[in-house]
């Protein structure tokens, strides 16, 4: 009887662990990379509640050109005919570790700007278009680490963006990044 009860307890534990594992893969937040600050080249967020991640090896940079600064964080997922791409750009603002910056400029509408913009483009069957932040659809980015000696930037972000043709709004939430960048 004692052996039977032990087998039942082990079987129950295995079922419980399997059930927890199933729940974790269904939880969109558990599919995002962990928040780190060591230059792991990870980035992820939820787009309308769905996970969107990338290796973080896109063209991320912080450069000074002709007296102006530009920081770009880029991430992409998918293939040519079924892709998603995100970008946060900060122009002519000094990046300081520990600071939060408002994302409220439209990259599409502004030729030359000072501030921060968020962009999301997609051609997936579920969602199609080019979405941009603007004065009404805003967000923020916080730099938990900004190390321009070792070229590492880490932090969190979120923003709402409007499709430039249809006016549809999307929500980018729970964004986190730990990236290396070039100068």
Per-residue pLDDT reduced to its tens digit, 92-136: 999 999 999 999 988 644 555 688 999 999 887 678 899 999 999
Per-residue pLDDT reduced to its tens digit, 137-160: 999 999 999 999 999 999 999 999
Q: What's residue 11's pLDDT?
A: 39
CA 81 from centroid of its chain's CA atoms: 21
Mean pLDDT of 169-174: 97
pTM of the model: 0.81
Exposed e or buried b for every residue in 165-175, given b needs 16+ CB within 10 A? eeeeebebbeb
Q: What's residue 107's pLDDT?
A: 62
pLDDT of residue 49 exceeding 90:
yes
């Amino acid at each position: 009887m004692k052996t039977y009860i032990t087998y039942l307890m082990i079987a129950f534990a295995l079922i419980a662990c399997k059930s927890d594992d199933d729940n974790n893969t269904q939880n969109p937040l558990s599919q995002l990379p962990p928040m780190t600050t060591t230059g792991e080249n990870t980035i992820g967020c939820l787009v309308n509640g769905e996970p969107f991640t990338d290796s973080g090896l896109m063209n991320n940079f912080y450069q000074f050109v002709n007296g102006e600064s530009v920081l770009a964080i880029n991430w992409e997922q998918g293939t040519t005919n079924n892709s998603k791409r995100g970008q946060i750009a900060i122009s002519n603002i000094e990046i300081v570790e520990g600071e939060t910056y408002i994302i409220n400029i439209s990259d599409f509408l502004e030729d030359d700007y000072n501030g921060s913009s968020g962009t999301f483009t997609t051609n997936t069957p579920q969602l199609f278009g080019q979405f941009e932040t603007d004065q009404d659809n805003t967000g923020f980015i916080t730099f938990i680490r900004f190390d321009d000696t070792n070229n590492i930037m880490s932090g969190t972000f979120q923003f709402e963006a409007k499709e430039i043709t249809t006016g549809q709004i999307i929500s980018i939430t729970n964004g986190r990044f730990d990236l290396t960048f070039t100068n």
